[in-house]
Structure 1
Amino acid sequence: MMMAPTFRKKERIVSNLLIETLFEKGNSQSLAAYPLRAVFLKKERQQGHAPVQILISVPKKRFKHAVDRNRVKRQIREAYRLHKQLLSNCITDDQELLIAFIWLSDSHCPSNEVEKRMISLLQRIAKK
Structure 2
Amino acid sequence: MPGTFSYARQEKLKSRKQIEALFASGRQLYTYPFKILYQTTPQNRHPALLQAGVTVSSRHFKKAVQRNRIKRLIREAYRNNKVELQQLIVGKPIGLYLFIIYVGKEMPDG
Q: Is the structural similarity TM-score above 0.5?
A: yes
Q: What residue identity is the alignment partner of 2:103? A: L
**Higher helix proportion, which one?**
1
Mapped partners of 1:5, 1:83: distance in 2: 8
Residue of structure 2 equivalent to 1:34: 32
1:47 Cα deviation (Å)? 3.5
> Is 1:69 matched with 2:101?
no
Mind listing any 5+ residue stretches in structure 1 that lack a counterpart?
112-128
Structure 1 segments, 4+ long, off by >6 Å, are none
Residue of structure 2 equivalent to 1:98: 97
Structural mapping, 1:48-67, within 5 Å: 51-67=49-65
Instruction: Report the aligned-residue RMSD.
Output: 2.2
Answer yes or no: is the 8 Å Cα contact 2:47–2:92 preserved in 1: no
Tell me the TM-score normalised to structure 2 length: 0.88
Residue of structure 1 equivalent to 2:81: 83
Q: What residue identity is the alignment partner of 1:52? A: L
Mapped partners of 2:48, 2:74: distance in 1: 19
Q: What residue identity is the alignment partner of 2:27? A: Q
Change (3 A) 1:47 1:103: same
Residue of structure 2 equivalent to 1:5: 5
**Higher strand proportion, which one?**
2
Mapped partners of 2:44, 2:98: distance in 1: 16
Tell me the TM-score normalised to structure 1 length: 0.77
Provide, for residues 84-113 of structure 1, a one-character-per-residue CA deviation record: whole Å limited to 9, x for no partner.
0111222144101000000111111113xx
Mind listing any 5+ residue stretches in structure 2 that lack a counterpart?
none
Mapped partners of 1:85, 1:3: distance in 2: 11
Provide, for residues 25-68 of structure 1, a one-character-per-residue CA deviation record: whole Å limited to 9, x for no partner.
x2x21112211111100111264697110110101112000000
Mapped partners of 1:5, 1:32: distance in 2: 25
